[in-house]
Amino acid sequence: MEPVIRTSGLTKRFGKRVAVDGLDLEVGPGEIFGFLGPNGAGKSTTIRLLLGLLRPQGGEAWVLGARLPGERLRVGDRVGAMVESPAFYDYLSGRRNLELLARLSGGCERKRIDETLELVGLSDRQHDRVGGYSHGMRQRLGIAQALLPKPELIILDEPATGLDPQGLVEVRELMRHLRDDENMTIFLSSHLLHEVELICTDVGVVSGGKLIRRGKVADLLARSTAQADVQVDDLSRAVQVAGTLPYVTGTEVRDSWIRVTLSGDLIADLNHDLVGAGLRVSALTPARSSLEEIYLTLMAESGHVGGPTG
Helices (H), the chain: 43-50, 94-104, 110-119, 135-147, 165-180, 193-199, 217-221, 235-243, 267-276, 291-302
pLDDT of residue 74: 82
Of all helices (H) and strands (E), which one includes residue 61?
strand 58-63
CATH 3.30.70.100 corresponds to the domain 227-286: yes
Pairing between β-strand 153-157 and β-strand 79-82 as defined by DSSP bridges: parallel
The pTM is what? 0.81
Question: CA-to-CA distance for 308 and 41, rounded, in angstroms?
Answer: 9
Shared fold status for 5-221 and 227-286? no
Residue 266 phi/psi, 5-degree rounding, is -125, 30
Residues with pLDDT less than 70, the chain: 106-107, 223-225, 304-310
Question: CA-to-CA distance for 170 and 191, rounded, in angstroms?
Answer: 18
Question: Which SS3 state, helix, strand or coil, does residue 189 take?
Answer: strand
137: nearest Cα among 200, 100, 176, 88: 88
pLDDT of residue 304: 63
Domain edges within the chain? 5-221, 227-286
CATH fit for domain 5-221, picks 3.30.930.10, 3.30.950.10, 3.40.50.2300, 3.40.50.300: 3.40.50.300
| Planar angle of CA 91, 94, 95, nearest 5 degrees | 120
pLDDT of residue 310: 42
